[in-house]
Amino acid sequence: MSWQDHDHVDDQTDIELAVSNVWSVSERADKLIRGTIHKAGTIKDVMMHAMEEFGELSTEVAILNGTNFKQPSVDGVAGEAVDVILCMLDIIKLHKPDITPNELAHLMQNKTAKWARHVERAGGGQ
On the question of pLDDT at 65 being above 80, the answer is yes
Residue type, 117: R
Domain membership of residue 50 (yes or no) is yes
Residue 7 is predicted with a pLDDT of: 46
* 112 is a domain residue: yes
Domain range for 109 is 3-121
pLDDT band at 41 (very low <50, low <70, confident <90, very high): confident
* pTM, to two decimals: 0.70
Distance of CA 104 to CAs 9, 14, 100, 109, Å?
A: 15, 13, 6, 8
Q: 10-14 — which CB contacts under 8 Å span 24+ positions?
A: 12/105, 12/109
Q: What total of structural domains would you count in the chain?
A: 1
Query: CB–CB of 90/46 below 8 Å?
Result: yes
Do the domain assignments include residue 126? no
